[in-house]
Amino acid sequence: MQGRTLGTQGLRVSDLGLGCMGMSQSFGPRPPREEMITFLRAAVERGVTLFDTAEVYGPFHNEELVGEALQPVRDDVVIATKFGFALDEDGRQTGVTSRPDHIRAAVDGSLRRLRTDSIDLLYQHRVDPHVPIEDVAGTVRELIEAGKVRHFGLSEAGVATIRRAHAVQPVTALQSEYSLFWREPEDEILPALEELGIGFVPFSPLGRGFLTGQVTAESEFGEGDIRANLPRFEREALAANLALVDLVSDVARRKGATVGQVALAWLLAQQPWIVPIPGTRRLERLDENLGSADLDLTAEDLAELDRASAGVQVQGDRYPEAMQKMIDR
């Protein structure tokens, strides 16, 4: 991998990062800790430098895992984490919160769990409608000045919020969903990011498994798998949405690649400041994903993929209603 720079703030990372959430939650039983530590270190050996976690993943388990695994190579990697959810004593989410005192406490906790003196990229996980974004950005600016944080990021933020935050503390990266399966950011988000010099980190770049070619109309999602509760994966929607996978598969066969590699290569081709963070817990899948950085899609390939994506009306919302309401517009 050649590496990319997220926006104009100088944060250099690998072409693809690694989303770490699934190592602690949302996709079935939690794998053995030692197995995931070995996996994370193998990712570093393969050239991955951007690792994405959050205090709420687990909660807390994921940051502890990432911190332990990456401590021996801390100077060689970029760790991104997030604040912004309120948790009760049992670790259950009770809503969003970005009060300045909460941000400071969250950062201190993340630093301890990540075994580091500074967080490379700190995201607000979800916009808090009750706290002015200027207060959030100002608090992060103070943490940057104190040396606890290097770069400021937002997640699932709308254009107006991005502009207001950026005016107080330059935003290095926005993290939101983007893929052949979900192209809404192209309407307003991507033009604004280009204008402001902000990098983009797409999560779920493979549509939560849809664009791997491994999900079928008969797929069942068991206990602990978030997809069992997502509208897009309900039986009727699932069958309809697989039409896009079939079209991407045509390109993949012609290129001698997998569906997932084509989907990631398409993302990489959109802008040089886009860095997807596909999540996986399997080494063979990691190697497959990283191979997308070497896959050359021609202008004709890209046009075919654009037509395929535009021609399939994706069925079902991204999230259940309660989670949909947390997305800033």
Catalytically active residues are 57
Strands (E), 103-178: 119-124, 149-155, 171-177
Q: CA 312 to CA 105: how far, in whole Å?
A: 45
Decide if 33 contacts 21 (C-beta within 8 A): no
Helices 283-290/33-45 angle, 10° precision:
30
Q: Tokens 């897009």: give the residue.
A: 232
Rg of the chain in Å (alpha carbons): 19
Which helix or strand (DSSP H or E) is residue 235 part of?
Answer: helix 235-255
> CA 30, 32, 33: angle at the middle one, nearest 5?
100
Region class of 147: left (phi > 0), else alpha (psi between -120 and 50), else beta: left
Which residues, in sequence order, are bridge partners of residue 122?
A: 81, 152
User: b or e along 118-145 (b: 16 or more beta carbons within 10 Å of the residue's beta carbon)?
Assistant: bbbbbbbbbbbeebebeebbebbeebbe
DSSP 27: B
